[in-house]
Every structure is written in C-alpha cells, then in structure tokens.
C-alpha cells in the first residue's frame, strides 16, 4: 500500500511544485487568507472530495473515507504568509508588496494537497478516515488552530500528524522528539508613567527612562535567579521607546517583550516575577504603570508513543538518510492546540537549500522543494501504518 502511495506522490511531484510556486507568488498574511482558502476549496471541488469551509475563520477541512473500518487520523498544514517584503531573485517571487511566504507554509499546503489527492485516489483500498486540516493564521496569535479545534475539526479524531519544512535542517533528515519540542510564545507590554521635564532640572521630574533601564536589568535576572536552572526559559525585551528630544526628560516609556517556556509552572513563575518587578520598581520610583501579559501558543508537546512511532517509520522513507531526535526549540507553533486534544506528533522535514540557508522569517528565505516529497511520503506512511498500531 505504501509503495503505491509513494509512486503516486512521485508522479505528482511537478504538480506539487507548481502549487507551491503559485501560492508563493500570491501570499496572504494571517487572517486575510481568503483567496488562498478559495484555491484550496477549488482543488477539492475538482477532485470531488467533500470539505467544510470557513472552519474557525478561513480554515478548510476535507475528509477522505476508506472503504474499510479503521481509525480516524488527521493531517495538518498551515497556509498563511508573513508581512515581509521578499528579497529573493526567483521566477516565482511574491507578487504582493509587503507579503511573503517566508516560513514554508506554501510548501506545507502543496504537500498536503497532493497527499490528499493520492489518498483520495486510493480510497477503495484504505481503512479508516483521513481528516485533512488546512489551517489559517499560524503566524499571528491567537492563531487559527484554537478556533478550528473549537469548531470541531478534531471531532472523532484518534491521532494527528504534522510537519514543518525546516531550512536549517539538512535535506534528507527527519527531526523529532518526544515531549516538549517547541516553546510557549507569550508577549508582555509595560508602560511607565512618570513626569517629564527639562533635562537640566531632574529634581522636578520622574524619569521614565532610568526607571525603564532598571526594569530591563531586573527582568533579565528572572531566568538566572528565579527559574530552576534545570528548566528552560527565555525573557527578551524587544522594544523600548521613550522621549524624542536630547534635552528633555521623558515622562513616559513603553517596552514590550516575549517569554518562551516549556512548562506551565515556569510560565506562571515568569509572568508573576515580571509583574512583581514592575510593581516594586515603580513603587520605589513613585510612578504609575500598566502591565499586560498576553499568553500566546502553549508549548508543542509530542506524545511519547506517536513520537517513537514516527521515529521508526521515518527511517524507511525513500530519500530519508537520518531520523534523529532534535533539541527543543524556543520558537512557537500553534500545532500545540491539536496535541492538547488528541495524541500525535509534530516533526521537522529537512529542507536546507543549496547555497546560503537563510532562516525562517528572513526576506531571502527559501527551501529545497524536493523536501516536500519526503514530507508527503513521511506523513502518508504515518497515517497508513498508524491504522495497524
């Protein structure tokens, strides 16, 4: 059965590339992916595959039923782009100013569409049901996964699999790990309200800049002094804005940052510590403040059984020369919401291009397109073999 699937995917590779490049040329950023959603729907219309549109927003969910009883297994690909101006000199460069598929979601969609087509063509020989989840808005919290789950895309699903084409991993390598794989991604915003005044008369002011500088110093001590060193956390101040003249003491300062953790306990500790530091520092400085902590995606935590299963099957996929356990990453991914509901695994498919491998979210990001075929075969083998697990 798998050999038949692999042959179908090999024969569809050029179509896969064509879809990917079309989507790359017509990117739509998070929550604005209406034309991309229509493109996906038209693909299934032409196949005669039933689907539900506008799931949790712009999401599309197709269902392929085999003729034999079996498990219901879901596959997911995201399809939103980023607000980035592309700098690649390629024939399929983005035609939309300020928007670019700089994370591989165009490849994810092309991969899953062709895999769905192959499964549909084999449906008379398949057991179970296959739920094909095309998700919008992965790049921007609150994301598309949560509302899609709330809309019922996982109803009746026994397990879910997903992959990310990864430009920093060598081509032919599948990376995975049991347990925490990607971090929660939270955001915080702080506004300090002091009292501005003349730069030569500090005694009449409450300097928001110096207060902000103290906050940054104290906040950077949270990870080293308040978090168990065996556990992981990142606290980053990404912006600090105050004042607009060299001889004026700023009365207001604004800063924002991100927190990345793998455990709910550490997540709670970091949030509480930031607020405690802000409150105490501003009390000592006799100024007021506002503090907002915006929880983003929870951590991606792979299920042990499914991660071991994926590790084993990946070794026998044509084109795969290494199936490795990777270190956890501090980047976020809303695939976490699916894994909170059903067993499953999220993994990386090595897609490092020849030449310079620019990182994800870079204006010159690209990936090796043959990796889409490896991703499709790995996902396809996973859903077929999981029926017998």
- Residue 354 appears among annotated catalytic residues: no
pLDDT digits (tens, 9 = 90+) for 216-225: 999 999 999 9
Q: Which of the following is catalytic: 28, 33, 80, 129?
A: 80
Q: What is the pLDDT of residue 272?
A: 98
* Ramachandran area for residue 302 (φ above 0: left; ψ -120 to 50: alpha; else beta): beta
- 279-327 pLDDT, tens per residue? 999 999 999 999 999 999 999 999 999 999 999 999 999 999 999 999 9
pLDDT confidence of 368, banded at 50, 70, 90?
A: very high
Give the CA-trace dihedral at 109, 150, 180, 349, to 10 degrees. -10
pLDDT at residue 313 in the model: 97
Read off the pTM.
0.94
Q: Can you tell me the distance from the alpha carbon of 282 to that of 59, in angstroms, rounded to the nearest whole number?
A: 44
Domain 184-297: CATH class, spelled out = alpha beta
Asked whether the predicted pLDDT for residue 114 surpasses 90, the reply is yes
pLDDT tens digits for 2-49? 999 999 999 999 999 999 999 999 999 999 999 999 999 999 999 999
Beta-carbon contacts of residue 139 (< 8 Å; ≥ 6 apart): 29, 30, 78, 80, 81, 82, 103, 105
pLDDT per position as a tens digit, 167-182: 999 999 999 999 999 9
| Residue extents of the structural domains in the chain | 2-181+299-386, 184-297
Provide the percentage of residues in the chain whose pLDDT is more than 90. Answer: 99
In the set 28, 86, 129, 138, the catalytic residue is: 138
The CATH number that domain 2-181+299-386 falls under is 3.40.630.10
Q: Which residue spans within the chain are E strands per DSSP?
A: 51-55, 59-65, 68-78, 127-135, 159-166, 173-176, 179-182, 184-193, 197-198, 233-242, 248-249, 252-261, 288-297, 300-302, 322-325, 344-350
Confirm whether 32 is a catalytic residue.
no
Task: Please report which confidence band the pLDDT of residue 389 belongs to, taking 50, 70 and 90 as the band edges.
Answer: confident
Q: How many residues does the chain have?
A: 389
């Amino acid at each position: 059965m798998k050999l038949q699937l692999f042959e179908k995917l090999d024969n569809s590779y050029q179509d896969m590339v064509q879809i990917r490049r079309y989507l790359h040329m017509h990117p739509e950023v998070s929550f604005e992916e209406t034309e991309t959603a229509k493109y996906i729907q038209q693909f299934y219309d032409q196949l005669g595959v039933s689907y539900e549109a506008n799931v949790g927003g712009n999401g599309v969910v197709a269902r392929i039923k085999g003729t034999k009883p079996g498990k219901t297994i879901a596959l997911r690909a995201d399809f939103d782009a980023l607000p980035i101006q592309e700098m690649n000199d390629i024939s399929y460069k983005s035609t939309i100013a300020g928007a670019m598929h700089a994370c591989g979601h165009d490849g994810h969609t092309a991969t899953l569409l062709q895999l769905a087509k192959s499964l549909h063509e084999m449906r008379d020989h398949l057991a179970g049901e296959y739920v094909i989840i095309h998700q919008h808005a992965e790049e921007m919290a609150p994301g598309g996964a949560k509302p899609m789950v709330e809309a019922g895309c996982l109803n009746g699903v026994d397990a879910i699999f997903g992959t990310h084409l990864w430009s920093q991993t060598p081509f032919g390598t599948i990376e995975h790990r049991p347990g925490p794989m990607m971090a929660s991604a939270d955001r915080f915003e702080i506004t300090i309200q002091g009292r501005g005044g003349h730069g030569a008369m500090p005694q009449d002011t409450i300097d928001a800049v110096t207060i902000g500088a103290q906050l940054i110093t104290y906040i950077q001590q949270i990870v080293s002094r308040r978090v168990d060193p065996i556990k992981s956390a990142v606290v980053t101040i990404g912006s600090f804005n105050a004042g607009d003249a060299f001889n004026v003491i700023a009365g207001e300062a604004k800063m924002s940052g991100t927190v990345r953790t793998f455990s709910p306990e550490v997540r709670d500790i970091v949030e509480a510590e930031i607020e405690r530091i802000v409150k105490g520092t501003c009390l000592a400085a006799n100024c007021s403040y506002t503090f907002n902590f915006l929880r983003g995606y929870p951590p991606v935590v792979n299920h042990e059984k499914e991660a071991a299963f994926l590790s084993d099957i990946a070794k026998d996929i044509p084109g795969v020369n290494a199936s490795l356990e990777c270190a956890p990453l501090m980047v976020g991914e809303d695939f976490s919401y699916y894994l909170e509901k059903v067993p499953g695994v999220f993994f990386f498919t090595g897609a490092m291009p020849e030449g310079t491998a620019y990182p994800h979210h870079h204006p010159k990001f690209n990936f090796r397109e043959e990796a889409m075929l490896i991703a499709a075969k790995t996902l396809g083998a996973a859903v077929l073999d999981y029926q017998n697990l």
